[in-house]
Structure 1
Amino acid sequence: MTTRNLSQMFQPKSVAVIGASNRERRVGTTVLQNVVDGGFKGDVYPVNPKYSTLAGLKCYRGIGDLPQAPDLAVICTPPSTVPDLIKALGERGTRAVVVLTSGLAREKDRHGVTLQERMLKNAKPHVLRILGPNCIGLLSPGLGLNASFAHMGARAGKLAFVSQSGALTTAVLDWAGAREIGFSHFVSMGDSADVDFGDMLDYLASDPGTDAILMYMESIRDARKFMSAARAAARNKPVVVIKSGRVPEGAQAAASHTGALAGSDDVYDAAIRRAGMLRVDTTDELFAAVETLARLRPFGGDKLSIMTNGGGAGVMATDALVLEGGKLAHLSDKTREALDAALPRTLGRANPVDIGGDADLERYTATLAALCEDPETAAVLFIQAPTAVMPSLDVANALAALPRPPKNVFTCWLGGDTAERARRVCREAGLPTYDTPENAARAFLEAVNYRRNQALLMETPPSIPPGFAPDVARVRAIVDSAMREGRELLTEPEAKGVLSAYGIPVVETLVADTPELAGQLAAGIGFPVAVKLVSPDITHKSDVGGVVLNIETAEQAVESARQIRKRALAAKPDARVTGYAVQRMANGAEAFELIVGVATDSVFGPVLLFGQGGTAVEVIADRTIGLPPLNLNLARDMVARARVSKLLAGYRNRPAADHEAIYLTLVKLSQLVCDVPEIAELDINPLFADAHGVLALDARIVARAPALPGHGRLSIAPYPQELESTVDAGGKPVRVRPIRPEDEPAYNAFFHTLTPEDVQFRYFGLIKELSHSQMARVTQIDYDRAMTFVATEKDEAGNTRLLGVVQALADPDNTVAEFAVTVSPAAQGRGLGRALMEHIISYSRKRGTGELIGYVLSANTRMLTLARHLGFVDDKEMEAGILHIRLPLQQATQARGTRGD
């Protein structure tokens, strides 16, 4: 389930309060009073057999006595009553319930089944949606609906707030009320037994009354569902998240509070970043971020100009900006000339610009205009300290009256009452405003990082080099052999065999089963060599003295092997020593030691790691996390966020590392994780990286049966290679496959082959160009909720050429998917359109989609003829010249017409 029946929850026409009361300090009393006092215009039904009237309303003995099925019911009764109430409500026709009661996950019935399990079982036949249990409730201020036991109501506004913590819910409500911040919806999730973050994100993303989404998150259960919904929502509107549990102690507290395990905070950070959301640490930052993102126009660049009537405030803002990685703009000569005309000679012209405490309105506006025209300035921060010469309110009114400046302007008003009045004027004028220079500088940086991350996620990734062809069968054989032997830990030679099968260069390694053979192999390889322990029972060889480096003779190799065995058995007497790995010492004089690897997170599944390697890797603690599948752009971002990236650029006489080889290694590991679900842990430490490429010196892989089969363990759906096929198009085979992000250039070329009539039929208007963002929405899809198939061939240069495109975008419930199909003029008349349509129909039917719908111009007779041959029926005419057609998918196959093209 996702958004099904959530409209009844958040836009009800009638509400029943079950367990309503008039006794003081009872939840049922507070909820009923809040519903009545909130101004809800619909019907309100108190339910309690002990009363005939409550709050001036008729009170009903039970659900069966209600005059109609309420759209929304709020349950405030003891745990034991909840499952039967849910059953009765479902049978009556109610489809949305808020369960405020706690303890359902702990209490069991006489059969040992928890009350929560019974509650969900009773709801399922009716598709009845449940918010909670153990929650505060919900508020939809635009409807006057306060179905909660919160201590106060909320103003109507355009922000949605969703929280797992009841205490934080009421605290934020109080905080926002004091600041006159309004909400479209205010939701306490509680235990999220049914409605979860994924559902809320899907609902709010399509809610026209919500401009931005704020979330307080402690943990999630269904990472795949959450990531799919989060990525979709963050493409449409800002999503800002507070995730608690940054430190291990806090994470444990969060887990026990919500009854779900919290994953590693680094992994949550990576997930939030990958989804395109913005993470903040405090409620102040939460609302400051929304203040910024909701009011700003898109902007390029990352440099800030600061103007202030007090030099100290400018210094404070500069410190906050630079210490957190921000940059001041370097003002151009033209800007300085404009400042010469605006400012007295006694004042400087450097950024931050001090306009003086005696500045009049003309000086304010002239300085602001000059900075807004500066080519390097992305935004201007305006800081005002109160003075008797120029009151803050007068300055704010003057700013609000100005024509919209060409650059975004952040305002900061220092002080108390007078400053607050100025802030209110700016908010009403749509200018983001802050109470301290530090908060303003931080807000600018958050906006820069948010826009940068959004741009990264929309970038067209370069194609993987065509030579990359992993030997999956070889890896399967290695992993299956180890698992048949009951081993999770692969030997080092096996691990390097896995890496080699995926094109990751490894140092040559031979295995000897005796010390004497180790000496012989060393002599054959050539000195110097390293000798390492091979044992299925010891994970970290260095910890037990199982590695000897820089061996110069065969005799030293023999003795080193003997000592390795001795030290290993002393450290772990029961360990099996099965041999000795002998490898030539790599020349690492100019190489950087890195670590790349794979771990399995309890929430998000497989994750990738990159950082500075070596024996002190835990002490250095330089790591970045990414979620598979990775493309080259995402791999580049992972590397750039690690501290070691500054070293990789080269310094003094040390040349830079081959960055592309590092990026490609991460992408190859990502593909390995997607292809072989048994890969649970993987370390390459060290991975040597120099100007000539990369080389894996040591590798450790743990393989075990995955908790979920196939791609189910991944938090983001990977490219579905299994859907690639070949179709016949006019007697010529054509490759049909899912679209990839790197197809954008080919898609753009395909668009330019279309005739004006083709464009009119596809887009219902004449479009000459598609923007990058428009093409990215087609090529960079979430395979869990949309599918686009492309028919391809290779041109004379070996580049991919698109012949046709068909897509289906499903709603969050997968009940309806809208299709669109286009074929290049050069490929028309070969049956390709029909082949693509049959492809998308078959895919959608297997996926369980309820029906395919399409909107077709009545002039597009070829499409209408084809659709009718495929079983589509004309549903209705949406408007003049546009037909709505539909094809039910989950029923007996309809009789088809004769084949047409």
Structure 2
Amino acid sequence: MAKPSLEPFFNPETVAVVGASSTPGKVGHTVMENMLSAGFRGKLLPVNPKGGDIMGVEAVTSVEHLPRGVDLAVVAVPRRFVIDTARELASIGCRSVIVITAGFKEVGHKGYDLEQELAGICRDADMALLGPNCLGMINSPAGVNASFAAGQPLPGNIAFFSQSGALCVAILDWARGAGIGFSKFVSLGNKALMDEADMLRYLDSDPETDVILGYVENVENGKDFLLRAETVTRNKPVIMIKSGSTAAGAKAASSHTGAIAGSDSAYGTAFRKAGVIRVRDVESLFNLALAFSEQPLPKGPNVGIVTNSGGPGILAADDAVLHGLSVPSLTPRTVMRLQEFLPGYAAFNNPVDIIGDADAERYAATMEVVAEDPTVHSLLVMLTPTAAVGIEDTAKAVARTAERCGKPVFASFIGGRRVGAGRKILREAGIPCYDFPAAAVESIYAMHSHAVRRHRPQPEYLDAYRDVERARKVLRESAARGEREVVEFRAQEVASAYGLDVPGTLLARSSEEAVRGADAIGYPVALKIASPQISHKTDVDGVAVGLKNAEAVAEAFSDITSRATRMRPDAYIAGCLVQEMAPAGSREVIVGFKRDDQFGPLLMFGLGGVYVEIVKDVALRLAPLSKQDAFEIVREIRSYLLLKGIDGGPYANFDKLEEVILTMSRLAVDLPEVLEAEFNPVLVGPERAVVADVRITLDPKVGSS
């Protein structure tokens, strides 16, 4: 069902305040006061059972006396009246509603039921709903402040939405002090109907918004959010805080992938896929917001640094390199031009240290020359408050020069009280100015990354061979036997159905069968315990490798099965898998996925063994993965060089490895009945990528068909 337009919500011509009050301190009074002081140009309609004059506006006594087709109603009545009020608003064709009232799903089961009833009424009436339990909404350019926040925000080109009303109040107060303005400001509250995806849908085409900020605690419709965000971030930067960054509340999972791919990992990976810039605190949120709202995007990663102090300049250069930016050497022509007017003891290359006695003119001249260097894409101007520097004059000179240079300019005036006036001058001139260079570098990096993403080609996906029906048949049969985890022998069949290179494998129920299997496969072989209840074979020492003859195989079978029976008396021991050994010189890697409740299959890649168990050197992506994703995920882990080969050692066939990763992605998309899957290990050598072990866990909530 299509969602209602948000145009009447953000740009109403008629606004009703249900629960309007002439008593200061009441929510209905604050909403009326905010609407009047915002300069609302439409018709304001207070609703109060007593009628009369409310703040100079004649009130009606009930909703039924409002004109039909009210654009926006703000509901600030006790909870017991909210449902009836919503029905009455629906009956007069109200187009959107903000329910400020609290006491819904945030207070328990009864509140949840009331919220569902409220949402149903609004949905059936095609009436947009913000809240309940929210602060309200502000649209500064339209003169709409349908909130109970104290005071009016400054106008600006930044939109902000938040689940937390308390955070909204604090940010509004802080932003006024910092001189930061907003185009839109929305408190989402309980998100009964209107959510982050709806905000992105509207703000994408909002001409008054250039930068979108958000605070989220959870995203309930992850796929809709991703779809919207991927579209919006090609046009505008979206910068968000996600609270709850620890895995303390995440459910435990049986696989390595499930254990590593917790809730916060899923959100971080989802934001990355969608192009959303994630920050960890409010300060960083607005540092980036100001940069994006005031400066053009850099056309490359190269930063030119101008400073009056060598130490901070070196720190800034280090930060830039650590972020993946470059601090290039300046061209010989640029160096010669700098030598014409800088003291002989200055540092003429990048960072350019113009020495502590630099005045405003020296700053301006150096900025102009460095900005004209063709290797420089953005400029960072730094100042420490030496006795000689004129801080305010320098700030004015930096601002004037920045207007002419045609490249993004950032500043860091390091200090406290002495540099405060200079920072204020720069910020008023639209030059982002930071207390320390690390924050400036973070902004430059975020803007560069956003610019790169906007120009990336459309993703290309692998059309992998797969026999989906054959794979589903295995899953149906396992589910029919009541298995939560597919027995490995059958799981290998699923891998084969997807065209993966799996080792020759036979199930042996006795030592004699194990020997016959080994004779058929060819020595040496490996033996692995076969039990649907034993997920991690190493827990029972259930693997033997390099078995070179029949005696070794028979002995290993007896040892493995007896030990497993003793250590896991609850487990059904089917026997052992007899398996072809991996090619010599192979590296062990792990490829797995866990189905996240919000965002779908979250795929993990890393080196196997201790690297995944202890070091957790892994990379994550959301399925489906493109070919570019597979290329990047392999090279993202810290131990990538071990796969590439060091000092003539064995190397991995990256084409084969990327095919395995893309096939796992395809399997995750094709088979919703699979909750988790893991190829561990995948044995990658110069010629092959062999999927040696397969684990598949079924989702009991999804039937195989």
TM band (smaller chain): over 0.9
Given that residues 400 and 429 in structure 1 are in contact (C-alpha distance below 8 angstroms), is that contact kept between their aligned partners in structure 2? yes
Partner of 2:476: 480
Partner of 1:366: 365
Residue 303 (structure 1) shift: 3.1
Distance 1:502 1:323, change over 3 A: same
Judge which range, 92-101 or 607-616, deviates more. Answer: 607-616
CA distance in 2, matches of 1:517, 1:399: 82
Partner of 1:627: 622
Judge which range, 55-64 or 23-32, deviates more. Answer: 23-32
Q: What is the identity, as a one-letter code, of the residue corresponding to 1:399?
A: V
Distance 1:378 1:672, change over 3 A: same
CA distance in 1, matches of 2:384, 2:653: 51
* Secondary structure of the structure 2 residue equivalent to 1:70: coil
CA distance in 2, matches of 1:316, 1:2: 52
Given that residues 358 and 389 in structure 1 are in contact (C-alpha distance below 8 angstroms), is that contact kept between their aligned partners in structure 2? yes
Partner of 2:208: 209
Instruction: Kindly indicate whether residue 528 of structure 2 is the aligned counterpart of residue 527 of structure 1.
Output: no
Given that residues 479 and 704 in structure 2 are in contact (C-alpha distance below 8 angstroms), is that contact kept between their aligned partners in structure 1? no
Partner of 1:558: 554
Q: What is the identity, as a one-letter code, of the residue corresponding to 1:276?
A: G
Residue 569 (structure 1) shift: 1.9
Judge which range, 490-499 or 538-547, deviates more. Answer: 490-499
CA distance in 1, matches of 2:21, 2:411: 48
Given that residues 15 and 72 in structure 1 are in contact (C-alpha distance below 8 angstroms), is that contact kept between their aligned partners in structure 2? yes
Residues 687-722 of structure 1: CA deviation (Å, up to 9, x unaligned): 122332412121111233565999xxxxxxxxxxxx
Given that residues 526 and 580 in structure 2 are in contact (C-alpha distance below 8 angstroms), is that contact kept between their aligned partners in structure 1? yes
Residue 325 (structure 1) shift: 4.6
Distance 1:263 1:135, change over 3 A: farther
* Secondary structure of the structure 2 residue equivalent to 1:404: helix
**TM-score of the aligned structures, taking structure 1 as reference length:** 0.73
Given that residues 273 and 453 in structure 1 are in contact (C-alpha distance below 8 angstroms), is that contact kept between their aligned partners in structure 2? no
Residues 801-833 of structure 1: CA deviation (Å, up to 9, x unaligned): xxxxxxxxxxxxxxxxxxxxxxxxxxxxxxxxx
Partner of 1:189: 188
Q: What is the identity, as a one-letter code, of the residue corresponding to 1:99?
A: V
Identity over aligned pairs, percent: 38
Partner of 2:676: 681
Partner of 1:288: 287
Partner of 2:100: 100
Matches within 5 A, 1:694-843: 694-704=689-699, 707=702
CA distance in 1, matches of 2:646, 2:56: 79
Residues 721-741 of structure 1: CA deviation (Å, up to 9, x unaligned): xxxxxxxxxxxxxxxxxxxxx
Distance 1:107 1:227, change over 3 A: same
Residues 400-457 of structure 1: CA deviation (Å, up to 9, x unaligned): 33353243222222344664443444345443332321211221222233334444xx
Residue 307 (structure 1) shift: 1.1
Matches within 5 A, 1:39-58: 39-50=39-50, 52-58=52-58
Judge which range, 69-78 or 700-709, deviates more. Answer: 700-709
Residue 562 (structure 1) shift: 1.6
CA distance in 1, matches of 2:596, 2:541: 30
Residue 166 (structure 1) shift: 1.1
CA distance in 1, matches of 2:545, 2:581: 7
Judge which range, 443-452 or 675-684, deviates more. Answer: 443-452
Partner of 1:459: 457
Distance 1:691 1:462, change over 3 A: farther
Instruction: Kindly indicate whether residue 67 of structure 2 is the aligned counterpart of residue 71 of structure 1.
Output: no
Distance 1:341 1:688, change over 3 A: farther
Residue 218 (structure 1) shift: 0.9
Any unmatched runs of 5+ in structure 1? 253-261, 711-901
* Secondary structure of the structure 2 residue equivalent to 1:469: coil
Residue 10 (structure 1) shift: 1.0
CA distance in 1, matches of 2:587, 2:300: 32
Matches within 5 A, 1:875-890: none
Distance 1:315 1:574, change over 3 A: same
Residue 186 (structure 1) shift: 0.3
Residue 302 (structure 1) shift: 2.2
Partner of 2:514: 518
Residues 558-604 of structure 1: CA deviation (Å, up to 9, x unaligned): 12112211222222212111121011321343x32211011111211
Residue 521 (structure 1) shift: 1.8
- How many residue pairs match? The answer is 695
CA distance in 2, matches of 1:623, 1:35: 51
Given that residues 423 and 433 in structure 2 are in contact (C-alpha distance below 8 angstroms), is that contact kept between their aligned partners in structure 1? yes
Q: What is the identity, as a one-letter code, of the residue corresponding to 1:354?
A: D
Given that residues 309 and 353 in structure 2 are in contact (C-alpha distance below 8 angstroms), is that contact kept between their aligned partners in structure 1? yes
CA distance in 1, matches of 2:210, 2:271: 19
Q: What is the identity, as a one-letter code, of the residue corresponding to 1:243?
A: K
Q: What is the identity, as a one-letter code, of the residue corresponding to 2:76?
A: C
Q: What is the identity, as a one-letter code, of the residue corresponding to 1:540?
A: H
**Pairwise CA RMSD of aligned residues?**
2.6
Matches within 5 A, 1:155-304: 155-249=154-248, 264-304=263-303
Given that residues 510 and 582 in structure 1 are in contact (C-alpha distance below 8 angstroms), is that contact kept between their aligned partners in structure 2? yes
Residue 365 (structure 1) shift: 3.0
Partner of 1:494: 490
CA distance in 2, matches of 1:557, 1:532: 11
CA distance in 2, matches of 1:380, 1:619: 41
Partner of 1:37: 37
Partner of 2:657: 662
Q: What is the identity, as a one-letter code, of the residue corresponding to 2:84?
A: D
Partner of 2:544: 548
CA distance in 2, matches of 1:460, 1:32: 48
Instruction: Kindly indicate whether residue 598 of structure 2 is the aligned counterpart of residue 600 of structure 1.
Output: no
Residue 27 (structure 1) shift: 2.0
Q: What is the identity, as a one-letter code, of the residue corresponding to 1:586?
A: A
Judge which range, 88-97 or 675-684, deviates more. Answer: 675-684
Partner of 2:465: 469
Given that residues 2 and 202 in structure 1 are in contact (C-alpha distance below 8 angstroms), is that contact kept between their aligned partners in structure 2? no
Partner of 2:566: 570
Residues 766-806 of structure 1: CA deviation (Å, up to 9, x unaligned): xxxxxxxxxxxxxxxxxxxxxxxxxxxxxxxxxxxxxxxxx
CA distance in 2, matches of 1:83, 1:539: 51
**TM-score of the aligned structures, taking structure 2 as reference length:** 0.92
Given that residues 163 and 190 in structure 2 are in contact (C-alpha distance below 8 angstroms), is that contact kept between their aligned partners in structure 1? yes
* Secondary structure of the structure 1 residue equivalent to 2:266: helix
Given that residues 360 and 390 in structure 2 are in contact (C-alpha distance below 8 angstroms), is that contact kept between their aligned partners in structure 1? no
Partner of 2:258: none
Q: What is the identity, as a one-letter code, of the residue corresponding to 1:28?
A: G
Given that residues 535 and 576 in structure 1 are in contact (C-alpha distance below 8 angstroms), is that contact kept between their aligned partners in structure 2? yes
Residue 116 (structure 1) shift: 1.2
Distance 1:152 1:3, change over 3 A: farther
Q: What is the identity, as a one-letter code, of the residue corresponding to 1:439?
A: A
Distance 1:679 1:650, change over 3 A: same
